[in-house]
Chains A and B, each alone.
Chain A
Amino acid sequence: MKLVDSIKKDFNTMTLVLIPVAIAINVVIGQIVVLLRLPVYLDSIGTVLVGAICGPWAGALTGTLSNIIWGLLIDPNAFPWFPVALFIGFVSGWCAHFGLFRTWWGVVITGFLVAITAALVSTPIAVYLYGGITASGSSFITAFLLQTGRDLVSAVLSTNFLVEPVDKIATALLAYAIIRGLSRRYLMRFPRAENVTPKKA
């Protein structure tokens, strides 16, 4: 499939209407998680959901716009992190494309791959924009690693590798739970429903 066709395929009207809801899910659950003082973010459940049932390009757009909305509404600090969210949607979309959204263990693998990507993409942003130390609690780990003589980039990267998987695996599993709660009739309206429904015999 040509690139343009692959991109076009993701965006039917259902996708365009789902994305705002998905972003709202990201934001509102993200805020509830803060309210409940849970040690995770869970602010990309909607992004993973769109990636899985509408495709990687739609997932990437959802992630990007999600950060723009977070910046517009809550904290402009979110803007520069949009590439991380973009890749979260993109990678979960491809994972679903290759059938990883049919079983719970496939979803755990998706969460892990998404976490690795997020760690890789967020490291340069944390290093160049914030000098490696951000406002999150995980910066204590970074500081500790710096003390042990690591250089900044590898300290930030190791921190991210340590922190991301729990959050992203939980995120992917929650997105999976949502998909399992939706009817087949409903899912069929989305462009990549075949990613999450049983294969035709």
Chain B
Amino acid sequence: MAVIVIKNLTYTYPTMDHPALREVSLEVEAGEFVAIIGPNGAGKSTLCYTLAGFVPHFFKGELQGDVYVAGQDIRHVRLEDWVLKVGLVFQNPFNQISGAKFTVYEEIAFGLENIGVPREEMKRRVEEVMALTGIADLADRSPYALSGGQQQRVALASILVMQPEVLVLDEPTSQLDPIGSREVFQVIRQLAHQGVTIVMAEHKVEWIAQYADRVIALAEGEIIASGQPAEVLTDPRLPEYGIGISRYTAVARQAAEEGLWPPHQRLPVTLEEAAAGFRAIEETDYARLR
């Protein structure tokens, strides 16, 4: 069943002349992990804000078309209740620290206090989510005295603890090192298996290729490609739109031009795929030489 249904969405921020999103149509199934790629200014963040209800309820502006999440028309929900259904994690970790609390443990519990979760349940959920995101050892630290990566994980935990049906993440790994990024992707993959629907704007295509179910490429507010990660991430048009591709794709494309990539085989996104392709071509080369 489609949890997110977007039809012909066009949205313009107030005081802006040009729409940030144009004629966007999209469906996402429950438990699906969809990644959104695109250059800066393509509308990734706007799409995230729309699903989370901040467009139009916080930003105002003009919204045309239909956006249904969990069967509800986004235009008619109340933002203060909607945040329970759709969780939003965004890029800048520092700005996601509420400031209301003095320790990490309290910071994560802040959302649960606001929605009136009883104390015992609150503690159980906070501890669970701290274990899941690997920050149990930070419990008594000040959220402001953490590294960017640690703060980003606190921000993620603070939203996960509210158990949203749909989780929207706007470049959540920008402050993380490769190990931290992998941990975040693994946590999110696991949530998708548990039935949480994930929409994630992200630049790190190699991780997307490994973990996402589907990729959508945005440019200038329009969807330019949508489909399996291996398909979309190797789309030859991506660089034209200013969308970064995996270094393995780039290398293999160069190799293909020189006839060093197996013909009819899709270009790789990850190291494993690249290795497999080069191994295959090597074998045929050897075969030819003999």
Please determine whether A185 and B13 come into contact, CB atoms closer than 8 angstroms: yes
* In the complex, chain A residues whose CB is within 8 Å of the CB of B16: 185
Q: Chain A contact residues (Cβ within 8 angstroms of B): what range?
A: under 10
* In the complex, chain B residues whose CB is within 8 Å of the CB of A184: 15
Interface of B is mostly: loop
Q: Give the shortest distance, in Å, between A18 (CB) and chain B (any CB).
A: 12
* In the complex, chain B residues whose CB is within 8 Å of the CB of A20: 99
Q: Give the shortest distance, in Å, between A2 (CB) and chain B (any CB).
A: 23
* In the complex, chain B residues whose CB is within 8 Å of the CB of A188: 14-15, 60
Closest to A183 in B: B15
Q: Chain B contact residues (Cβ within 8 angstroms of A): what range?
A: under 10
Q: Give the shortest distance, in Å, between B58 (CB) and chain A (any CB).
A: 8
A184, B60: Cα distance in complex, Å: 14
- B30-83 residues with Cβ-Cβ distance < 8 A to A are 58, 60
A177, B36: Cα distance in complex, Å: 40
A13, B99: Cα distance in complex, Å: 14
Closest to B60 in A: A188
Please determine whether A185 and B99 come into contact, CB atoms closer than 8 angstroms: no
Closest to A17 in B: B99
Closest to B99 in A: A20
Closest to A185 in B: B15
Q: Give the shortest distance, in Å, between B133 (CB) and chain A (any CB).
A: 25
Q: Give the shortest distance, in Å, between A84 (CB) and chain B (any CB).
A: 26
Q: Give the shortest distance, in Å, between A188 (CB) and chain B (any CB).
A: 6
Q: Give the shortest distance, in Å, between B131 (CB) and chain A (any CB).
A: 31
- B3-41 residues with Cβ-Cβ distance < 8 A to A are 13-16
Closest to A13 in B: B58
Binary per-residue interface labels of chain A (1-39) against chain B in the complex, 1 for a CB within 8 Å, 0 otherwise: 000000000000100000010000000000000000000
B contact set with A: CB distance below 8 Å: 13-16, 58, 60, 99
Q: Could you write out 10 A-B pairs with CB less than 8 Å apart?
A: A13-B58, A20-B99, A184-B15, A185-B13, A185-B14, A185-B15, A185-B16, A188-B14, A188-B15, A188-B60
Given A13-B58, A185-B13, 8 more contacts at CB 8 Å?
Answer: A20-B99, A184-B15, A185-B14, A185-B15, A185-B16, A188-B14, A188-B15, A188-B60
